[in-house]
Amino acid sequence: MVLEITKNIPKPNWYVGLLFEEGYWFVQLIRQQQLTRFMPYTFNSDAVIASGGTSGWETPTDANARRYLEPQEEETIYQFFTGLAPSSAQLYLQYTQRVDRMNLITPRPVPGQIGFWDGESTKYRDPSPETELWTVRDIYPHFNVANVTDTNMPKESHVIVSSFWVTPYTYKVVSDKTKILQFLKKDKPATIVTMGDGDRPIKAPAWLLSNYQKWMVCPEDLKEA
């Protein structure tokens, strides 16, 4: 089976621009690890969730509290997609912690009618491209799942599981601002991703700013160029 996300996974030597609050950070992907499945991840400490209940906010970790969706080194970045089961389950996103994403109002009710993926739209074994996220060292998401039962169906408890389809890359930072502006003006092809929401991008981590802020380009620079 060809996964729907396959067409969205860049190959080595492709360019990717991540938009943080401080500006665009462009990298050229160098080494690509094979698509790595992390599954199943069971919410609520493997316990069932009652109808209408939620798991609470959590991020996948191992026994040593290492976060699976956060690169362990600064020299690596992750792209990943998320699947969900059962089909009626809803998944809500905070990225970073305590910052709601895909919401129209703040605070967002969970469960609710706004800002979630469900197991029907992003399947456990064939995740939707809409769930695409990128992470760097010190940046990672939190999730909350809800067991939502249709009003015409019996109220049943469920174990809710997710799958994460992760591609790690090493990279080289693009320092040529002329080339960066060409990417932003679409004169040259690249993948450009907002880290967070357009009106509230994530702040870049301290190590990234310390090493690379001089090569970041603010959206205002594009208007003036």
What is the total residue count of the chain?
225
Domain limits at 9?
Answer: 4-224
What pTM, to 2 d.p., does this model score? 0.94
Q: Using the predicted structure, report yes or no on whether residue 190 has a pLDDT greater than 70.
A: yes
**Mean of the pLDDT values across residues 142-153?**
86
Total Cβ atoms within 10 A of residue 92: 25
d(Cα 118, Cα 128) in Å, to the nearest integer? 10
In the numeric block, which tokens belong to residue 21?
Answer: 């609050």
In the numeric block, which tokens belong to residue 215?
Answer: 């090569």
Only one residue has tokens 């907002």, namely 194
Q: Using the predicted structure, report yes or no on whether residue 116 has a pLDDT greater than 90.
A: yes
For 3-17, 25-39, 159-173, 211-225, which range has the lowest pLDDT when averaged over its residues? 211-225
Contact at 8 Å (CB) between 114 and 105?
yes
Predicted local confidence at residue 16, as pLDDT? 98
Only one residue has tokens 């003006």, namely 185
**Mean of the pLDDT values across residues 182-186?**
94
Q: What is the DSSP letter of 222?
A: H
CB-hemisphere CA count at 13 Å for 103? 18
Of 111, 49, 113, give the one whose Cα is nearest residue 86: 49
Predicted local confidence at residue 224, as pLDDT? 53
Total tally of structural domains belonging to the chain: 1
Total Cβ atoms within 10 A of residue 86: 15
